[in-house]
Amino acid sequence: MSAPRIGVVGAGAFGTALAVTLARDGRAVSLWSRDREQVAAMRDGRENRARLAGVVFPENVSVTAEIAEIAESQAVLLCLPMQGLRAFLATTGRALTDRPLVACCKGVDLETLTGPSAIMAEALPGSPHAVLTGPSFAADIARGLPTALTLACREDRDGEMLQRLISTPTLRLYRTDDVTGAELGGALKNVIAIAAGVVMGAGLGESARAALMTRGYAEMAKLALLLGARTETLSGLSGLGDLILTCTSAQSRNFRYGMALGAGTGFDPSVTVEGAATAKAVSNLAKKLDLDMPVTTMVAALVDGRLDLSTAMQTLLSRPLKKE
């Protein structure tokens, strides 16, 4: 019996890490990038030096720029930036019709104000789809360090199949049918991670970060529950677990970006910071829902340059006293 084949769309650090760890566990993996120069470099060097240097590709990882090769897979992991997912599926997605799709991005689309599951369902309504999210860094996954993630899928049969296909001895997947909660937990924690970074970059201290994380989590839960999520999802891996990781580690791009904002230093514009766009999208969604989300609103204003740090801090600290 031949090994299952998995397609990974997007050769960033996370997509590369998933490709490597799945291949080590015996899968045949096709790793896709639209950048043909990147594909040639990865084929020649057998590593992704630009995104995950030092991690050697197993023999059963093939690198391709042909989407037709990905379409032959039993499942396709979409490891693309959230703001690029809709465009990719609109222009290239037809080749993946009827393939099970797993979105590995975290965020809210700026134009539709929806998460990845809605975008996949609209673009390819005949394809089973799920969302993979939770506390994880690409470097840890690639090194084979133990990692637990949430696989969110509304259909139990599809979810069980994907859980078996993607799980490895070091990558443990927990399944849920609460796609809304899993998506929003993964998206909103990036916004709070930026805010936590701002606090630390501005030198406000660990106590302030703890307070920010706690109030940020309350804000996450308020929006998610309003949109139909379940409380236990927000308190699980895809919510609280991911929040703790990204608010406390400099491996988090969102946290590092927030630190740069707080310290008033520059940040590499080539680095994808999902929480920046998500803050804008969720701020707009909160206005639409008439929902008070002060941390998200502050982050969106800081990212846009509509608010300076001193004013942002003063605005938060001067809010009316109330019950927790």
Give the active site residues: 189
**pLDDT of amino acid 309:** 86
**pLDDT of amino acid 35:** 96
- CATH code for the structural domain at 5-177: 3.40.50.720
**pLDDT of amino acid 315:** 76
Do 5-177 and 180-317 share a fold?
no
Q: Which residue(s) pair with 171 in the sheet? A: 147
Cβ pair 253, 273 in contact under 8 A: yes
What single-letter amino acid sits at 141?
I
Task: Identify the CATH homologous superfamily for domain 180-317.
Answer: N-(1-d-carboxylethyl)-l-norvaline Dehydrogenase; domain 2 (1.10.1040.10)
**pLDDT of amino acid 312:** 82
Residue extents of the structural domains in the chain: 5-177, 180-317
Tens digit of each residue's pLDDT (9 = 90 or more) over 155-209: 999 999 999 999 999 999 999 999 999 999 999 999 999 999 999 999 999 999 9
Strand extents, DSSP E, 33-146 = 61-64, 75-78, 101-103, 129-133
**pLDDT of amino acid 319:** 64
56 phi-psi bin (left φ>0, alpha ψ -120 to 50, beta other): beta
Please tell me the pTM assigned to this model. 0.95
CA distances to 31, 32, 43, 103, 153 from 64, rounded to whole Å, are 6, 5, 9, 19, 28
| Look-up of token digits 């470097």 | 139
For residues 256 and 262, give the distance between their C-alpha atoms in angstroms, rounded to a whole number.
10
For residues 28 and 61, give the distance between their C-alpha atoms in angstroms, rounded to a whole number.
6
**pLDDT of amino acid 324:** 66
Nearest one of 113, 146, 117, 143 to 132, comparing CA atoms: 117
* Burial of 203 from C-beta contacts in 10 A (0-12 / 13-18 / 19+): exposed
For residues 85 and 261, give the distance between their C-alpha atoms in angstroms, rounded to a whole number.
27
274-289 helix and 253-263 helix, angle to the nearest 10 degrees: 80
CA distances to 97, 310, 318, 320 from 294, rounded to whole Å, are 41, 15, 12, 12
Which regions in the chain score pLDDT beneath 70?
1-2, 317-324
